[in-house]
Structures are given as structure tokens and as C-alpha cells.
Amino acid sequence: MITDAPAIVTRRHGLAESWTLATYLRNGGYDGLRKALTMEPGDITSEVLTANILGRGGAGFEAGKKWSMLGKARPAYLVVNGDESEPCTFKDHMLLENDPHQIIEGTLICARAVGASQAFIFVRGEFALGLERMQAALNEAYAHGAVGRNIFGSDFSIDVVVHPGAGAYICGEETALLESLEGKRGYPRDKPPFFPAAVGLYSKPTIVNNVETVSNLPWIVMNGGQAFADLGVGRSTGTRLFSLSGHVKRPANYEVEMSKTTFQDLIYDPRLGGGIRNDRELKAFVPGGASAPWFGPDQIEMALDQDAVGKAGSMLGSGSVVVMDDTTCMVRAAWRITRFFHKESCGQCTPCREGGGWLDKIMNRIELGAGRRSDLDLLLDVCDNIAPGLSWPPQKTTICVLGPSIPSSITSAIKMFRDEFLAHIDEGRCPFGPPVGNSVPAAAVSSRGDA
């Protein structure tokens, strides 16, 4: 159901020049920071613990709990992750472009709460406008006295740096992001033994929070954690921004109250998705980003609730919902996602580096009509060698979760649409015909390393 919950992170979107300091200040900007400066750091954390805001980057870990786990060594760092690169996820993109000051304010509140001595906002390099507005906002904030030495005349000082990413999807993974920030190749770190809260940036305790997560902080500080926790149901509190895309009439970002809103509402409500394009049938949808196992029409009534979706074998993940109608070739859809993960593997560990390429080649072969019936078992077994057991949440033979993200679409497609695979194999062609629009040419999977 569509509730009357207030818009929290998107409340200034649509205002004239919402990204400027002037607009921001006229609409309650930096009030949260001013209030936070009067609070003890521990009290800020308490409010965030009360709010129980789940991390909005993908893993959905409680932000306040993460802060409480920060190691005692100093200096400690805060890194805000704006390297949003998951296919069909574009919520942080809009937050960066439309309300950069809200991110800065949230960053400062978090830094104040955890005692960070330096903050970095890592923004995906392809977000040209977002980067420009983020940097301009930061300059304004410095001039306004909101960032830097003795913020608003208090004894709180911190510098914030905007760091453009260099174009690798993997750098959205927090430890790869830290490596990249340190000037190294974007390789995720093995964890255990150490998580960033203990050993992070430059081997110091580090909090990594998502752009959307910190964007909620000014509201939480102003309205109290309880007001946030009053929204939603159970552990899934507050509102959340969902990127709705695919075969819907109104693809866009929608901020809705968690748990009370369902996938049905999101996709079909005229105020939200407005239904399937051309009023066709829903075939399947991805509930939480390209890494998430797919859902079918029978799961449409499920609430946008982290635990409910988790229990059903998938995740809300990055908050991206992709809708596929009955014209979609599921083999091709799964192959396109596989191909994305294959190309974006950092290449550090064997199962992901080699397994991703292999799965891509098999899927491509099936889509082109050169598949064999034994390929289905082969696909599942190769997937099993990356994510043993093919369970959810996945186990892994890899360093990070990119590898175990590859099997999601393949296993979902085989489980839900085995007949389509067999049709490809038996007919020796794709029953949906050649790709149309911006699909990838058949010879896209090259075996040549030499460019």
C-alpha cells in the first residue's frame, strides 16, 4: 500500500536548483548538523541505533551497529560510497545530482558520531554531473563554515574529499574501494581476518556507508531515531529509495515506506510504476539488483521488507527492481547479466576470473543456438564451484561477493524457465528471434586477450 510516510531523502528533489546551498539552507539545510554539534557523539549513535536504519548499499547491515564496531585505533576514517554501478541501480546517482549538501551534512554527522578525522566521498567516475555538483556543493559548504576547521564555531573540525572513481564496478565493493582510494588496483580484500571497521583505509579503522544511508542522517537527527523507526515494520524501518526499471510504464526512483509497500504497489500503482508496458504480462522481476535471484509473478505480493525478501531466497540489495515482461528471452536476459559480471570481475581470484568468462561463453553459446542439453548441468556445477551449494545467502570460494553474484541470474533462469533453455538447445536458435534495439551483437564474447 502506498502510505503517507514523508519523503526523507528525496524531499528537496524537484525544488529549483535543489543542489545549491541557497536552496538547501532555505529548506532546513544543515540544521541536523547544527543539532548534532550540540549532542555527544554517543548520543548521535544512539539515535541511529534507535532508528535501526539498514545500510542502503546492498548488504543491508544496521548502520548504527556498524559504527559501534569501529576499532579503537586512531586516526579513523569515514568513507561514503557513491560508486553506484550495479546495472539498473540509479538512486545514489539522483541523490548526488539533486541533493549533494544532504550527503555532506550526513557525512559530517556520521563523522562526528564515530570520531572520524577525515572523510572521503567516493563518487563513480562516470557521474559527470553528480561529481560536478558534489564538488561545487563541498566548496560552498567549506565557504559556509559547514566543513573544515571549527565547523559552525564548534570545536569539531574535519576535512571532506570528493574522490572520483576510475571506472571499475568492483570499486563499489567496500574493500576494493579502499584499495582504490589508496591508489592501488581495485582488488577486494580477503575478509576475514579483517573488516574495514577494524583495519580499513590505510590500515586504520574505517566506516564505509552508502550515499543513501548518510542522506537519511540529517532527518534522523532532526526528528529523532524513534520517528524513523516508527516508519516501516520490524527491522525494515524508514523509507527507502527504489530504482524501478525495465518493462514498466513509469521507470523512475520512488521513495516509499519499507515493509508496508509491496512489489505489486511499486510496479503497478499508477503513482509509481503504473503497470507493465503495453499492458503485457509480467514474466519475472529482479527484486534487488543484478546480483539478486529473480522472483516470478507469484511473489508479486511480497512486501519491500529486507527480511521477507531474504527469507524468500533473494534480497532487496541495491534497491533496484527490474521488470521483465513476457516478450523477454530469459536466456538472453541471464546471459546479459552474466556478461556484465564477467567483464567487471577484478580478475584477482580464480573462480570469479575464470568462472565468469566460462559461464558467459556457455550462456552465449546456448543463446546462439549452439547449446547442448548437458550444458544445464555444467552451468549449475560451474556456478556451484563459485558459490558452493548455490544457497542464499551464498557461500563462496572467492574473495568477495562478486563471484557468487554471477550464479544468481543463471540459476534463477534455469530454475524458473528451464523450458526456454531446452527450446534454445533443441531448436538450435533463440525462439525470441534475433536481438533488437541495443542488444549486443552475437560475436561480442571475444576470446582474444590482445585488444
Partner 1 sequence: MSQQAEETTTVGITVDGKEVEARKGEMLIAAAERAGIYIPRFCWHPRMKPVGMCRMCLVEVKGPRGFALMPSCYVPVADGQEVVTTSDKVKKAQDGVLEFLLINHPLDCPVCDRGGECPLQDQTIAFGPGESRFVEEKRHWAKPIPVNPLVALDRERCIQCARCTRFADEIAGDPFIDFIGRADATEVNIFPDKPFVSNFSANIVQICPVGALTATPYRFKARPWDLEIVESTCTACAVGCRVAVQSSSDRIIRNLGVDSDPVNQGWLCDKGRFGYEAANHDDRLTTPLVRRGEELVEATWGEALQAAADGLSQVRDTHGPQAVAVLGGARLANEDAYAWAKLSKGVIGTDNVDCQLADGLAGEVVLGLPRATIDQACAASAVILMAPDIKEELPVLYLRLRQAALDKGVPLIEIGPQATGLSRYATWTLLHRPGEAASVARALVDAVSGVAPSNEGGGPGGVPVADLSGAAELLGQRPVVVVIGRPSLAESTDATAEALAVLAELSDVAFLPALRRGNVHGALDMGLAPGVLPGRVSLNAGRPWFTAAWGSVPEARGLDALGIMGAAAANRIQAMVLLGADPSSDFPDRTLARRALAGIGFTVVVDLFLTDAALHADVVLPVSSWGERPGTTTNLEGRVTRLGQKVTGAGTTRPDWMIAVELAGRMGADLGFDTLDGIAAEIAVLAPSHLGLTPELLSRSSARDGLVVPLAPREDTGGDDAGPVTESVEVAAAQRQGETLLARSEPIDEDRSLEPGTPESSIPAASAPAAEVPPLLTFAGAEPAAPLRPVDAYSLRLVTSRALYDGGALVQHAPSLAPLASGTRFRANPHDLSRLGIRPGDLVRVTSPRASLVLEAVSDTGVPRSSAVVDFNQPDEGAGDLIDATQPVTEVRVETATRSRSS
193: which DSSP letter?
Answer: T
Phi, psi of 288 (to 5 degrees): -160, 50
Smaller CB separation from partner 1, 75 or 393: 393
User: Taking a C-beta distance cutoff of 8 angstroms, is the pair 52, 227 a contact?
Assistant: no
- State which of positions 221-260 bind partner 1 (CB under 8 A): none
What x/- string results for residues 321 through 360 when contact with partner 1 is judged by CB under 8 A? Answer: ---------------------xxxxxxxxxx-xxxxxx--
Footprint on residues 397-436 left by partner 1 (CB under 8 A): 397-399
Q: Contact with partner 1 (CB under 8 A): which of 168, 198, 272, 366?
A: 168
Residue 125 is a binding residue for partner 1 (CB under 8 A): no
Please tell me the distance from the alpha carbon of residue 176 to that of residue 190, in angstroms, as a whole number.
10
Q: How many CB atoms lie within 10 A of CB 80?
A: 28
Minimum CB–partner distance for residue 58 and partner 1 (Å): 20
Q: Which of residues 36-95 bind partner 1 (CB under 8 A)?
A: none
Query: Alpha-carbon torsion 238, 239, 240, 242, what sign?
Result: positive
Give the number of residues in contact with partner 1, rule: CB under 8 A: 40
183 binds partner 1 (CB under 8 A): no
The Cα 398–Cα 339 span in angstroms is 18
User: Out of 4, 279, 298, 450, which residue is the one contacting partner 1 (CB under 8 A)?
Assistant: 450
- Given the complex with partner 1, which of 262 and 348 has the nearer CB atom? 348
CA-CA distance, 335 to 329, in Å (whole number)? 10
CA–CA separation, 192 and 258 (whole Å): 31
- Return the residue of 378, 416, 422, 440 that touches partner 1, per CB under 8 A: 378
- Of 157, 180, 159, nearest to 169 by C-alpha is 180
- Nearest CB to partner 1, comparing residues 277 and 353: 353
- Quickly list DSSP for 46-107: HHHHHHTPBPSSSS--BHHHHHHT--S-SS-EEEEEE---STT--HHHHHHHH-HHHHHHHH
User: Quick one: which of 185, 250, 415, 429 contacts partner 1 (CB under 8 A)?
Assistant: 185
State in angstroms the smallest separation of the CB of 420 from partner 1.
Answer: 22
Complete DSSP assignment for 208-262:
EEEHHHHHTHHHHHHH-HHHHHTSEETTEESEEEEEEEESBSS-EEEEEETTTSB
| 126 near partner 1 (CB under 8 A) | no
Smaller CB separation from partner 1, 152 or 194: 194
For the bound state, the minimum distance from the C-beta of residue 347 to partner 1, rounded and expressed in Å, comes to 3
The runs of H, that is alpha helices, within 115-210 are 128-144, 174-181
Binding of residue 145 to partner 1 (CB under 8 A):
no
- Nearest residue (CB) to partner 1, 106 versus 186: 186
**Is the CB of 247 or the CB of 342 nearer to partner 1?**
342
Residue 154 vs 397, nearer CB to partner 1: 397
C-alpha grid cell for residue 362?
556457455
Q: In whole angstroms, how close is the CB of 386 to partner 1 at the nearest point? A: 8
Nearer to partner 1, 215 or 411 (CB): 411
CB atoms within 10 A of CB 438: 5
Residues contributing to the site for partner 1 (CB under 8 A): 168, 170, 185, 190, 192-193, 342-351, 353-358, 361-362, 365, 378, 382, 384-386, 388, 395-399, 447-450
